[in-house]
Amino acid sequence: MRFDHILHALHCEPWLISAEMHEQLCEIVDAHITGKAHAPDGRAEQFEKGAGKAKPYEVVGNIGIVQLVGVIGKRIGMMERSSGVMDVDDFTTNLQAALDDDRVEGIIIDVNSPGGTITGVPEAADMVAVAEDIKPIVAFTDSLMASAAYWISAGASGIVASQSASIGSIGVYSSILDTSMAYKMAGLERQLFKAGSLKAIGTDGVPVSKEQKEYMQDRVDQLYGWFTSSVLEGRGRIQEGSMEGQTFFAPDAKTRGLVDGVGDMDDALEMVLDFVDMRRG
């Protein structure tokens, strides 16, 4: 099946994303598989309107603006792009271009993302942390900065969010659909021949073993450790209990140490310009 790799990623790999958006992605893929993706008013059709390659960075005065928009993936194909996924490599390419641009003295990362897959995210976050030593960076959202998007943004010099924006979702999860009981009720039994006790986890119709469940939980725990450690390194002290997968509106996020300011894009511009002036002085 042409969607096998996408189904495996959705149902067997850890995700840094809001559960609601993950569910929507599952619905979109199902719509493509069943042929409903392009039906009138179909959800996938709505996503396609805003899909595609990330816009190149913009320069406003002496500030570069780099977008981090949509579900985050890496080395994505046309199917993923048509479902509204942004390639993290597009983001890092644009960020590097802004760093190399002599006109740019500071950078704003304009964020509207529910997060995404794990692959490429720690590396993008490390790039932001290193880039911040070269030129000041402020991450801004007037909508959503969640999970993988927050991880990437946490290494910036500062974070600004509009009052009603949602910030956080610091957590990791993986969801496997065990369909073995449904097969059994239908009078079917799937036989799987493999080598390696942890091979082919999540195969349709095959029960998920205790060993496989423990392996998946260990992976999730390891990634959660990477995530929280990176956030704490970038942000410093964060109020206890703020990294349990929940999101916060900006005022609460500021109280908890997840953002530095509550305001609009002008406030983000003012903050990054202040950082530029400080470095000049």
Cβ–Cβ under 8 Å, residues 107 and 66 = yes
User: How many CB atoms neighbour CB 144 within 10 A?
Assistant: 23
Q: What is the pLDDT of residue 252?
A: 98
Which residues, 6 or more positions from 174, have their beta carbon under 8 angstroms from its beta carbon? 12, 13, 14, 15, 216, 219, 220
- Rounded distance, CA 132 to CA 123, Å? 14
With 80 as the cut, is the pLDDT of residue 20 above it?
Answer: no
Report which of 213, 20, 28, 215 is spatially closest to residue 115, judged by C-alpha positions. Answer: 20
Active-site residues, by number, are 147, 199
Q: What is the pLDDT of residue 60?
A: 95
Report which of 188, 187, 190 is spatially closest to residue 207, judged by C-alpha positions. Answer: 190
User: Secondary structure of the chain in the HEC alphabet?
Assistant: CCCHHHHHHHHHCCEEECHHHHHHHHHHHHHHHHCCCCCCCCHHHHHHCCCCCCCCCEEECCEEEEEEECEEECCCCHHHHCCCEEEHHHHHHHHHHHHHCCCCCEEEEEEEECEEECCCHHHHHHHHHHHCCCCCEEEEEEEEEECHHHHHHCCCCEEEECCCCEEECCCCECCCCCCHHHHHHCCCCCCCCCCCCCCCCCCCCCCCCHHHHHHHHHHHHHHHHHHHHHHHHHHCCCCCCCCCCCEEEHHHHHHCCCCCEECCHHHHHHHHHHHHHHHHC
Q: What is the pLDDT of residue 22?
A: 65
Top mean-pLDDT range of 65-79, 165-179, 242-256:
242-256
- Rounded distance, CA 2 to CA 6, Å? 9
Q: What is the pLDDT of residue 45?
A: 44
- Rounded distance, CA 29 to CA 76, Å? 14
With both helix axes pointing from N to C terminus, report the angle between 4-12 and 19-34 in degrees, rounded to the nearest 10: 160
Cβ–Cβ under 8 Å, residues 219 and 236 = no
Report which of 150, 157, 165 is spatially closest to residue 258, judged by C-alpha positions. Answer: 150
Domains of the chain: 4-174+211-280 (3.90.226.10)
With 90 as the cut, is the pLDDT of residue 238 above it?
Answer: yes
Residues 26-70 have pLDDT tens digits of 666 666 555 555 444 443 443 344 444 556 899 999 999 999 999
